[in-house]
Chains A and B, each alone.
Chain A
Amino acid sequence: MKRNLMTAAAVAALVAGSAQAQDLMFPVGEGDFNWDSYAELEKIDLDGEQVTVFGPWLGPDQELVENVLAYFAAATGADVRYAGSDSFEQQIVVDAEAGSAPNVAVFPQPGLVSDMAERGFITPLGEETETWVKDNYAAGQSWVDLGTFKGPEGNDDLFGLFFKVDLKSLVWYNPENFEDFGYDIPASMEELKTLTDQMAADGNTPWCIGLGSGGATGWPATDWVEDMMLRTQEPAVYDQWVANEIPFDDPRVVEAIEEFGYFARNDDYVSGGAGAVASTDFRDSPKGLFASPPQCMMHRQASFIPAFFPEGTEMGLDADFFYFPAYEGKDLGSPVLGAGTIWSITNDSPGAQALMQFLQSPIAHEVWMAQQGFLTPLKGVNTELYATDTLKKMGEILLSADTFRFDASDLMPGGVGAGSFWTGMVDYAGGKPAAEVASEIQSSWDALK
């Protein structure tokens, strides 16, 4: 009886399993792509081997990544399958623990990679990849450091390759509104604060800030605090903060939280008043820029946010961004906050190794650059290939940053970076004193040790 069932299931699987070859977005050999690197990949022969990739992207993002992976499939003959999930973090843990992990997993946060590497679920990428990242990525050493974790035996190894980077230090605005009111783009944090005051004096609301994100409510505020941390302290202090070498309630951290409060806790500065900050959904809050009359003038958010602008918004015309500026009075250069996805091998196979090799070839970067929503720290790619001027401008900010730091909350342990830091910021936005919030976060961190 049971055998019958299994046969039926096997038949079902066979019938369903015939995949169609995907068309390539950009025909091989045409355009200014690095086709040499593609030809290099064609030497790998993986005829018919299945390579499974599991990641957090769904919907339109899923199409983008599938378009990129199609080049890997075309060059090597492998049968690449991408599956996405909105509960990726939970499912990859379940799958890995139970022994049905995909070949390659795409992690949105380094914290999870660190946990899984320690438990021996991830295959190290080896010296060669490490050297490649160091030599070929802008600020290469920092990308190596971010992908290096303790393995099951306690020694450090490179466990993940960063591919696809998001930029966080951006302020979005509506150029025509700026023109109507005669506002100029601020070049320094001092100017930004003056501009904020001027807007409030004109009877406008300067900022739209929304922290709401369902189960993840609070995370947009952590980005604010991190950006402020980089604008008030040395990068080294930032690193100590991330590693908890200075406590979360250190006065320097509290100062950064209060810098966020300067904007978010002033009723005159935020759309809806300070009380609305915590519960306004982050997806809704940028819509205020385009309302009639405008509900706010500026919105600080990462490079992905245009996806939530009203339909038909044209980048560069209806909306634009400027770099979230640094203090002129503090000599900290122009720091940039970012985040990115890490690709790791969770089930080693020749196909998985070859896929990693593919990610190190310029063509993989360029095909995604030429679509949308992709930034890369890889030097030597043809930046002319960025699909829009907006992306190109962001790519330039990324490559010209003198300090690049990764999203701190992603680097902190899950219980803090995806837990008490989020909830703490909600409490802070609700009126709790910064010092009190910070010491609560610190004690939750202590509990994890």
Chain B
Amino acid sequence: MNAIAGQKPSLIWALRISVIVLVGLWLFPTLGLLVSSFRTGDQIATSGWWKALFPTEQNLTLRTAEPDAQVQEGDLWVIEGNLFEEGSKAKISAWGTNAREIDANGPGDTAELRDGSVLTVEEDGAYRLQSAEEMSGRRGPRVFATAVVPPEFTVENYETILISGGSTDNLARAFFNTLTVTIPATIIPILIAAFAAYALAWMEFPGRALLIATIVGLLVVPLQLALIPLLKFHNEIGIGKGYLGVWMAHTGFGLPLAIYLLRNYMIGIPRDIIENARVDGATDFQIFVRIILPLSFPALASFAIFQFLWTWNDLLVAMVFLIDATGETTVMTKQIVELLGTRGGNWEILATSAFVSIAVPLGVFFAMQKYLVRGLLAGSVK
């Protein structure tokens, strides 16, 4: 493989480095999302995700234990404890008890609170609050701490999406529903398009060029316009909202691109192969099944990947043609959108759901990749 650049090691290095740079650039935003999916919403909103990997200095608002925890030591009422949760390795560099001055005190200092009680905070978060009178209220006083906090991650977001959010049953059902939508919605258009593409590439009939142009023209039809007339049509012929309707819709919307890509690939197949077969007496159907289909596998595979992705990530078509008011036929994207809530915008849920929904398409890509291998075409020419 490296025969071409083999003689020049410098070139190989240049090659490797440029690939790494390219991949790095492309990966960087996604990496941010991946890291964010393991953080809480508050963390995402307060510090950069790249800092999540290292200890950072943060301004925290903490509280001592509530007055219920106080014990009497002689004349004094005392609460002792640690500001951090057990096992935390955070280190406090400065602290304060008033929002005016959040870094008034250093570790080990003692400060007087507004109500006369005194508070001592150590570097590791241990504190002692003592007062001459019995303390009251529902909560302990605030402590503003400037602390170096080690990286902290959570799988809570994944739990929300996969387990607790809207019950596991729903997600499983949505998963199977989505597959029921996507698999036929991927295979049917490819089949139909492959036959049509062959006819447009290798069969002679009047009006061929015009038909090709029309198909390219139809590529741009905005989906939003087609929704109402088509749903009306589905209702009139009696299929209403359901799988059949959503397959037909995805097929219709995916066809122009499928035909366009496949025809273009098929036209590149050497003419000799097809003419030889014709001379040998093969019918078009036989040529198509025995020669064209195997030779077009890379193109079929790559289109399959894309059609799968579109139908997998689609929400609009599913909402219009599949999901009826009973909500039984829900899909993954809908399920995720539901988790986001009415006013949307929860970054942690969005980030996590992006990764949950990316898993299957990525698996498909890996599975299909071996069909994209070199030499299928070249091999058959020899």
Contact = CB atoms under 8 A, between A and B. Distances in A.
A17 interface: yes
A52 B325 contact: yes
A177 interface: yes
Interface in A339-370: none
A296 to B, nearest CB: 12
A6 B46 CA distance: 53
B211 to A, nearest CB: 26
Interface in A97-119: 97-100, 102-103
Interface in A60-95: 60-62, 81-87, 91, 93-95
Contacts of A177: 99
A39 interface: no
Contacts of A83: 323-327
Q: A59, A304, A307 — which one has the most chain B CB atoms within 10 A of its CB?
A: A59
B344 A290 contact: no
A81 B244 contact: no
Given A58-B338, A292-B60, A97 B232 contact: yes
Interface residues of B, number: 50
B38 interface: no
Contacts of A290: 61
Contacts of A84: 338, 342
Interface in B113-167: 138-139, 142, 144
B40 interface: yes
A232 to B, nearest CB: 29
Nearest to B320: A94
A61 B342 contact: yes
A82 B180 CA distance: 23
A153 interface: no
Contact of A98 (B59, B232, B323): B232
Contacts of B231: 94-95, 97-100
Nearest to B339: A59
A284 B45 contact: yes
A99 B325 contact: no
Interface string A180-192: 1100000000000
B327 A81 contact: yes
B324 A100 contact: yes
A13 B244 CA distance: 12
Contacts of B235: 98-100
B354 interface: no
Contact of A91 (B144, B244, B320, B344): B320
Given A52-B326, A87-B319, A100-B241, A292 B342 contact: no
A357 B358 CA distance: 45
Contacts of B243: 9, 12
Which 7 pairs across A and B sit closest by C-beta, in order of nearness?
A59-B341, A52-B325, A98-B231, A102-B325, A83-B327, A180-B99, A292-B59
Given A13-B329, A52-B324, A283-B345, 13 more contacts: A58-B342, A59-B338, A59-B339, A59-B340, A91-B320, A93-B228, A94-B228, A95-B320, A98-B228, A98-B232, A100-B324, A293-B144, A310-B41
20 contacts: A17-B328, A61-B341, A81-B327, A83-B327, A85-B319, A86-B344, A87-B316, A94-B231, A98-B227, A98-B228, A98-B230, A98-B231, A100-B240, A176-B142, A181-B100, A283-B345, A292-B144, A293-B102, A311-B40, A317-B138
